[in-house]
């Protein structure tokens, strides 16, 4: 794993999102990283140094002039004795101080003194994020080589406030950290020089201007695969249906709505070395979508004539020219999961099928579709490999590792 044995310095600044930093520490450590924590004075108003230190496994640092740590220029050690500096949350104030080169407390001094890669997760009110001063600072930090993850759109802590400004979720920050470190570690980039296409999310098939046919796919698994592939060094094109997820960092994203749009985007992205079709494409669409909203009437519910959508997986798998060397499909089943997956493998003509049980009896807390966990069976012509329930991020990393190994065997 990219974070195994890595030394991370986490800078927590003052904002309501600071509580997420505690979960972030846990996520980093469960992946084998060691974590040191630096907290601004305002951060301690939201979470305690005791809590952060207990999760990190060593005391949190808060004071630039701490006699116990600064006798040997401790801020320089903090800045240099790490592989990556992560700032989460990064407030508008701290980002402004970073952009201006200020060094008036421990956090800003460490950030100015470090020569390690820096990953920043902004978190602030949407108006503050959109402010010209903040955007100037963002541009300055990007020009200085700072990498950013987020912010995301959503509800704010303030009542009736929503927009772009929410801190990225801990697993998104973990994925961004893995991707950033992987670019600096050739051994951790088994897909370097490879190209990959990933589809993700549902498709929306219009009934009229306000209604559509869809499914419950969240896109979390497909987006996780795209992130993992990019972290492994691949040049990734992600064709995404309508989702509420942020675009994965370092990935070329094409946003589509319908199955026909997705097929066109997929064909435009070829040729590639690997194609992974994780999207839950709607099987049918309305034969003739209404130009105007269909109104209720005395005749009752309208009769909708359905026609089949193009089969994207089969279309690519059965290409005579430009077929990817490795084509991986997904199968969301509610019964006879492996049996149906084997039949789909033969019918579609792909190389692998990743099958999962999306029924209410799957045993996955919160359900597979829309949830954060998955339990899959990788079905190939050689047999079935059943994986235990794990997070979708872990499924993605394991699948990408298997893809890398398969490609290596063929060269």
Predicted confidence at residue 69, as pLDDT, reads 54
Identify the CA nearest to 398 among candidates 151, 245, 240, 229.
Answer: 229
DSSP 371-382: SSEE-EEEEETT
pLDDT at 104 (0 to 100) = 86
Give the single-character DSSP code of 280.
Answer: B
Question: Range with the lowest mean pLDDT among 50-54, 78-82, 290-294?
Answer: 78-82
* pLDDT tens profile 66-96: 655 544 445 577 877 888 899 989 999 999 9
Does the annotation flag 3 for ligand binding? Answer: no
Q: What gap in Å lies between CA 352 and CA 344, rounded to an integer?
A: 10
Q: DSSP assignment, residue 251?
A: -
Evaluate whether 7-182 and 189-291+301-410 have a shared fold: yes
Q: What's the pLDDT band for 338 if we cut at 50, 70, 90?
A: very high
Could you tell me if 105 and 40 are in contact, meaning their C-beta atoms sit under 8 angstroms apart? yes
The burial class, CB within 10 Å (0-12 / 13-18 / 19+), for 290 is middle
Q: How far apart, in whole angstroms, are the C-alpha atoms of residue 148 and residue 359?
A: 37
pLDDT(136) > 60: yes
pLDDT in tens, 169-194: 888 888 888 877 876 665 667 898 89
If you average pLDDT over residues 131-140, what whole number do you get? 90
Closest by CA to 182, choosing from 143, 147, 221, 138, is 147
Mean pLDDT of 110-127: 89
296 known member of a binding site = no
How far is 172 from 227, CA to CA, in rounded Å? 9
Report the run of H or E that residue 353 belongs to, with start and end.
strand 352-357
Dihedral of the CA atoms 55, 56, 61, 62 (nearest 10)?
-30
Residue 348 annotated as part of some ligand binding site: yes
Task: With a cut of 70, say whether residue 300 has pLDDT above it.
Answer: yes
28 annotated as a binding-site residue: no
Q: Mind listing the pLDDT tens digit for each residue in 204-217?
A: 999 999 999 998 89
Tell me, what's the pLDDT at 373?
80
Global confidence as pTM = 0.61
Contacts of 106 (CB under 8 A, 6+ apart): 38, 40, 61, 62, 63, 64, 75, 78
Asked if residues 342 and 358 have their Cβ atoms less than 8 Å apart, the reply is no
Question: Which sequence positions are flagged as catalytic?
Answer: 215
83 assigned ligand-binding residue: no
Q: Assess whether pLDDT exceeds 80 at residue 306.
A: yes
Residue pLDDT, tens place only, 210-264? 999 998 899 999 999 998 898 888 999 999 999 988 888 789 999 999 999 999 9
The pLDDT score that the predictor gives to residue 163 is: 80
Q: Decide the pairing of beta strands 376-380 and 383-386.
A: antiparallel
Fold of 7-182: Rossmann fold (3.40.50)
Secondary-structure class of domain 189-291+301-410 per CATH: alpha beta
Question: CA separation (Å) from 108 to 72, 122, 176, 312?
Answer: 18, 15, 22, 50
Q: Where are the domains of the chain?
A: 7-182, 189-291+301-410
Confidence grade of residue 62 (pLDDT, cut at 50, 70, 90): confident
């Amino acid at each position: 794993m990219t974070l195994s044995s890595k030394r991370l310095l986490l800078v927590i600044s003052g904002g309501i999102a600071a509580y997420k930093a505690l979960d972030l520490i846990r996520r980093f450590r469960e992946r084998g990283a060691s974590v040191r924590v630096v907290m601004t004075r305002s951060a301690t108003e939201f979470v305690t140094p005791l809590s952060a230190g207990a999760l990190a496994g060593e005391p949190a640092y808060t004071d630039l002039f701490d006699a116990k740590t600064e006798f040997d220029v401790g801020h320089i050690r903090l800045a240099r004795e790490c592989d990556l500096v992560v700032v989460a949350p990064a407030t508008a104030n701290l980002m402004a101080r970073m952009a201006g080169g200020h060094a008036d407390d421990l956090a800003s001094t460490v950030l100015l003194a470090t020569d390690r890669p820096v990953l920043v997760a902004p978190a602030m009110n949407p108006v503050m994020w959109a402010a010209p001063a903040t955007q100037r600072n963002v541009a300055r930090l990007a020009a200085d080589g700072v990498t950013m993850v987020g912010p995301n759109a959503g509800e704010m802590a303030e009542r009736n406030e929503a927009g772009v400004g929410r801190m990225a979720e801990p697993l998104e920050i973990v994925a961004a950290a893995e991707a950033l470190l992987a670019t600096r570690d050739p051994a951790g980039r088994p897909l370097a020089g490879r190209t990959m296409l990933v589809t993700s999310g549902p498709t929306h098939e219009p009934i009229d201007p306000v209604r559509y046919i869809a499914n419950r796919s969240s896109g979390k698994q497909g987006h996780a695969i795209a992130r993992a592939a990019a972290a492994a060094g691949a040049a990734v094109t992600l064709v995404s249906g309508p989702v509420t997820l942020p675009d994965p960092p370092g990935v070329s994203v094409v946003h589509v709505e319908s199955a026909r749009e997705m097929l066109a985007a997929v064909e435009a992205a070829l040729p590639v070395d690997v194609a992974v079709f994780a999207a839950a494409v709607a099987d049918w669409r309305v034969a003739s979508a209404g130009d105007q909203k269909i109104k209720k009437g005395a005749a009752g519910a309208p009769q909708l004539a359905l026609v089949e959508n193009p089969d994207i997986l089969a279309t690519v798998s059965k290409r005579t020219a430009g077929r990817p060397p490795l084509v991986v499909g997904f199968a969301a089943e509610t019964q006879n999961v492996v049996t149906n997956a084997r039949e789909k493998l033969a019918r579609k003509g792909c190389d692998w099928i990743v099958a999962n049980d999306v029924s209410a009896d799957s045993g996955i807390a919160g359900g597979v579709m829309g949830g954060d966990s998955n339990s899959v069976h990788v079905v190939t012509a050689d047999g079935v490999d059943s994986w235990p329930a794990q997070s979708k991020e872990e499924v993605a990393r394991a699948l990408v590792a298997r893809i890398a190994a398969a490609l290596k065997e063929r060269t």
